[in-house]
Each structure stands twice: as structure tokens, then as C-alpha cells.
Amino acid sequence: MEAGHASAEMNVGWRAGAAPASASRVAAGAGLSIDRVSKRYGSVVAVQETTIDIPRGEFLTILGPSGSGKTTLLMMVAGFEQPTGGDLRVGAKSIVALPPEKRNFGMVFQGYALFPHMTVQQNVAYPLMVRGQKGPDAVKRVKQALDQVRLGHLADRLPRQMSGGQQQRVALARALVFNPDVVLLDEPLGALDRKLRCEVQIELKALHERLGATFLFVTHDQEEALSMSDRIAIMRDGRLEQIGAPGELYERPGNRFVADFLGESNFIEGEAVGTGEGITVYRAGNRQFTASACSRRAGEKVLFALRPEKVSIATASSRGALNEVSGRVVHWNYFGASFRFEVQTAELGRMIADVPAWKGLASPHTGMEVFVQWERDATSPLAAS
Ligand SMILES: Nc1ncnc2c1ncn2[C@@H]1O[C@H](COP(=O)(O)OP(=O)(O)OP(=O)(O)O)[C@@H](O)[C@H]1O
Ligand SMILES: [Mg+2]
């Protein structure tokens, strides 16, 4: 499907004779509104009544499992797919009826498909050319776009004479050269190795800050989402599951799906015993634990997420100072900066803990008896779904 996107981008988005970019420029400050947008393909509902308001200049990341509707949503914003319901607006103006080339949105799709027979400069100049923009101004813009991605010195190279990361940056320059109001990026870093990916991430973020354009970025990679975004929208089965700032989503996931999808979690299911003085007492696995006060009444079911890095592993009991269960190490790994422990406990089943290496146990081994400990405010309450 991704290759199809790339060719659609070239054949439709930058069709010869398209209107000049300036014709569709929106007022500075206008945000993008995705308003109850749906897309059906026959009986498949790819996107269902999704509403997201994106202020101008925001870096919004859409994160979600495969098939959750991320690409479909981006394709509708771009204009390559028509919504079956809802509206898309820039400021107060609906853009649903506008063809892609009149939306003035830059696009980078996975696979980045540069024209192989064109030099870097020609690739970047292409969207200007199809918009009828030639001459010294276009040359200047191409140079600026290439400088923005730090590739000015490679303008005469062919794509095959460049590294993957460099080609990726050419694709970015090509999406930015006509000063788009919105930049749509569908897993643009997917093909890069880890190190290159980190480099391009930093560049992309810096570019976003310099340009002030709205970025709508799709990724599978949760770390990428957490480190780059102003806000993250999590999609599941064509619906928006939760949206918020990275720290908000990570620290206060709304439900089990979000807690599991964005980062990892231990889950503790139990029943509230009572709440008072800032503390909720709950029972799980026939033991009582404490959490920061949450709005559950005595007898109500509770579900908490507990991030692995908020769990400590000790060889001695905290003697009631912390929430604690005992267990046996069933698996452990060393990652340089940290250890990961998997501990089988009688009360709460298998629990995972990520412990900074400098705090790690002196000589961890499988089968060793340990105490799994966590502070009261380490757990966050979740809705049941
Ligand atoms: N042209 C189409 N015809 C029928 N169904 C489609 C079409 N395009 C997408 N779908 C379906 O819509 C759903 C959402 O697809 P979409 O490509 O938006 O997912 P995605 O979140 O981008 O997934 P991935 O992470 O794998 O790229 C999927 O169930 C997919 O099979
Ligand atoms: Mg996709």
C-alpha cells in the first residue's frame, strides 16, 4: 500500500498545471480540524468519527497498531481519499472538496520514492515545476529547502549515490520546498536503521521548530512518538482512543490499551477497600496495597497500571514502607544502562521491573528470591476497557 501512496503523491499531488502554492495559502494561525471524519471501504470501517483539532504549528503524532486507520486518516487530510462522513477544515474553511494540490500540504510517505533519474536538485524542484514556478525564485527556494535539511552540498547527486538517511532528507526537502501549511509524514523514518533514525528525528524536530508549520506524523515507534511530539493521538480500530501530551499519556493512560501500547505496564486488578486522606486502599491477590487516592468506592473493581521502571527489586523487605510482594526471578537481562527482571509472584502473577544498572542486584540469577516494591503513587488507575 505504501508504494501506492508514493506514486499517488507524484502523479496526483504534483500534477502538471496545478495551482501555484500561494493561491491556497491560508491565514497565518489557522489550525487544521478533523471533524467527525469517517471512512468506509464497503463493509470495512477504516476510520470512525474521528475528531482532532490541531493548532497551527503543532507536532501531532498519530500512533496505533497496524490497521488502526492512521494512513487512511492522513490520506483523507491530504486529499487522496474522500471521507465518507465528517468535515476537514483549515481555520473555518472546509477543504474536503479541494483537490490535493490545492491544499498546500507537503507529504512524505514511507518508502520516500525519489525520482531515480533526477538529481537531488531536480527532485526537490519538481513540486515547484508542476506548480508552474520557475526562474531565480524557484532556484532560491530549492537551495533553501536543501540547506534546511543540510544537503546543499549534494545537490548534483543522484539518489542512488546517497545514503538512506540522505535520501530521506531529500524527500523531506521536496515536501517542504513550497512552504506547506501542513506537513504530513507517514512513517517517514521506517526504512532507516536505528542510528540514522535518531539523527533524522533530531533534524526533523529542529526543522519543525524553525518552520512553524503544522506536522502530522504517523509512526509505529512509541519512543519516537514520545520524544518528538507536542501531542500524541492513539488510534485503535479506526477510532481515537486517547489524545494528549506525551507525559500526560504516559503517566495517566486512560485505559489498559493505551497503557500497554504506549510503553509497557504491569497491571494490577483488584477491589477498592476504601479511600481517605489521599490514599486508596485496595485488595488484590488476597493482599492489601495502597495507591494515591482515586475515585473508586469500597467494593468497586480497580485496575492499575504500574510502569516497570517504577518497580524496585530488593533482597530485603521494606517492612511495610512500600507496597511489596515477594517472588522469584524467572528471567533477567542486562542492557548496559539497566536490568530487566521478570519475577513470578504468588499474589500478582508475573511482574516486570526495569532497574537502573547502578542500582541493580550485585549478582542476579534466575531463581533468586526477591521483593518487588513500588511506591503508592507509582500506580495509575485505569478505566476497565
Ligand atoms: N483501499 C482499501 N480498501 C479496503 N480496505 C482498506 C483500504 N485501505 C485501507 N483499508 C483497511 O482500513 C483499515 C485501516 O488501514 P490503514 O492503512 O489506514 O491502517 P494503518 O493504521 O495505516 O496501518 P499500518 O500501521 O499497517 O500502516 C485496515 O483494516 C485496512 O485493511
Ligand atoms: Mg499505514
Domain shared by 203 and 134, yes or no = yes
Rounded distance between C-alpha atoms, residue 176 and residue 193, angstroms: 23
- Res. 1 pLDDT band, cuts 50 70 90: very low
Average pLDDT estimate for 292-307 = 92
Q: Which ligand is nearest to the CA of 43?
A: 1
How many Cβ atoms are within 10 Å of 187's Cβ, its own excluded? 20
List C-alpha distances in Å: 343 to 113, 315, 325, 378.
47, 13, 10, 18
The answer, yes or no, to whether any atom of ligand 1 lies below 6 A from the CB of 43, is no
- Res. 203 pLDDT band, cuts 50 70 90: confident
Rounded distance between C-alpha atoms, residue 96 and residue 101, angstroms: 12
Domain shared by 77 and 149, yes or no = yes
The CATH number of the domain holding residue 208 is: 3.40.50.300
Q: What is the pLDDT of residue 10?
A: 35
Please state, rounded to an integer, the average pLDDT across all residues of the chain.
88
Mutate to test the pocket of ligand 1, among 44, 47, 241 (most ligand atoms within 8 A of CB): 44
| Minimum CA distance residue for ligand 1 atom 13 | 46
Q: What is the pLDDT of residue 29?
A: 64
| Sign of the C-alpha dihedral computed for residues 170, 172, 174 and 177 taken in this order | negative
The answer, yes or no, to whether any atom of ligand 1 lies below 6 A from the CB of 4, is no
Domain count, the chain: 2
Weakest-pLDDT range from 29-33, 290-294, 372-376: 29-33
DSSP string over 272-334: EEEEETTEEEEEETTEEEEEE--SPPTT-EEEEEE-GGG-EEESS--TTSSEEEEEEEEEEEE
List C-alpha distances in Å: 26 to 39, 91, 93, 329.
26, 8, 9, 59
**Does the structure show a pLDDT above 90 at 20?**
no
Q: Are 340 and 308 in contact (CB under 8 A)?
A: yes
Q: What is the pLDDT of residue 290?
A: 96
**Does the structure show a pLDDT above 50 at 343?**
yes
Domain shared by 50 and 188, yes or no = yes
Domain shared by 12 and 91, yes or no = yes
Domain shared by 327 and 270, yes or no = yes
Domain shared by 127 and 274, yes or no = no
Cα-to-centroid distance, 46 and ligand 1 (Å): 6
Nearest CA to 112 among 68, 81, 149? 149
Cα-to-centroid distance, 384 and ligand 2 (Å): 28
| Sign of the C-alpha dihedral computed for residues 4, 9, 13 and 15 taken in this order | negative
**Helix, strand, or coil (residue 117):** coil
Average pLDDT estimate for 359-383 = 92
For the CA of 75, the nearest atom of ligand 1: 18
Cα-to-centroid distance, 108 and ligand 1 (Å): 18
For the CA of 218, the nearest atom of ligand 1: 22
Domain shared by 349 and 218, yes or no = no
List C-alpha distances in Å: 56 to 61, 211, 230.
14, 11, 12
The vertex-223 CA angle with 378 and 75, nearest 5°, equals 125
Q: Which ligand is nearest to the CA of 109?
A: 2
Q: What is the pLDDT of residue 65?
A: 93
Q: Are 359 and 330 in contact (CB under 8 A)?
A: no
Q: How many residues in the chain?
A: 385
Indicate the DSSP class of residue 9. Answer: I
Nearest CA to 366 among 344, 346, 348? 344
Domain shared by 306 and 219, yes or no = no
Domain end marker among 220, 241, 257: 257
Which contiguous run of DSSP H or E holds residue 219?
strand 214-219
Letter for the amino acid at 116?
P
Domain shared by 269 and 247, yes or no = no
Q: Which ligand is nearest to the CA of 50?
A: 1
Interval 225-277: pLDDT, tens: 999 999 999 999 999 999 999 999 999 999 999 999 999 999 999 999 998 88
Domain shared by 124 and 24, yes or no = yes
- Res. 24 pLDDT band, cuts 50 70 90: very low
Domain shared by 160 and 207, yes or no = yes
For the CA of 238, the nearest atom of ligand 1: 14
The CATH number of the domain holding residue 337 is: 2.40.50.100
DSSP string over 154-212: GTT--GGGS-HHHHHHHHHHHHHTT--SEEEEESTTTTS-HHHHHHHHHHHHHHHHHH-
Q: Report long-range pairs for 194-202 (Cβ below 8 Å, ≥24 apart).
A: 196/163, 196/164, 196/165, 196/168, 197/224, 199/165, 200/165, 200/168, 200/169, 201/227, 201/228
DSSP string over 323-379: EEEEEEEEEEEE-SSEEEEEEEETTTEEEEEEEEGGGS-SS--TT-EEEEEE-GGGE
Q: What is the pLDDT of residue 385?
A: 52
* E strand residue ranges, 43-155: 44-54, 59-63, 85-90, 93-94, 105-109
Average pLDDT estimate for 369-381 = 96
Nearest CA to 85 among 31, 137, 47? 47
Mutate to test the pocket of ligand 1, among 5, 41, 77 (most ligand atoms within 8 A of CB): 41
Domain end marker among 215, 231, 257: 257
Interval 130-170: pLDDT, tens: 888 889 999 999 999 998 888 999 999 999 999 888 888 89
- Res. 19 pLDDT band, cuts 50 70 90: very low
Cα-to-centroid distance, 108 and ligand 2 (Å): 12
Interval 347-356: pLDDT, tens: 999 999 999 9
| Minimum CA distance residue for ligand 1 atom 6 | 41
Rounded distance between C-alpha atoms, residue 185 and residue 214, angstroms: 11
The answer, yes or no, to whether any atom of ligand 1 lies below 6 A from the CB of 334, is no
Cα-to-centroid distance, 156 and ligand 1 (Å): 37
Q: What is the pLDDT of residue 196?
A: 76
Interval 5-18: pLDDT, tens: 433 333 333 333 33
Cα-to-centroid distance, 45 and ligand 1 (Å): 9
Cα-to-centroid distance, 220 and ligand 2 (Å): 9
Range of the domain at 340: 265-381
Indicate the DSSP class of residue 28. Answer: T
Mutate to test the pocket of ligand 1, among 72, 74, 189, 218 (most ligand atoms within 8 A of CB): 72
| Minimum CA distance residue for ligand 1 atom 7 | 41
Domain end marker among 257, 292, 322: 257
The answer, yes or no, to whether any atom of ligand 1 lies below 6 A from the CB of 68, is yes
| Minimum CA distance residue for ligand 1 atom 27 | 66
Mutate to test the pocket of ligand 1, among 48, 70, 73, 76 (most ligand atoms within 8 A of CB): 70
Which contiguous run of DSSP H or E holds residue 7?
helix 2-8
Domain shared by 192 and 66, yes or no = yes
Cα-to-centroid distance, 38 and ligand 2 (Å): 16
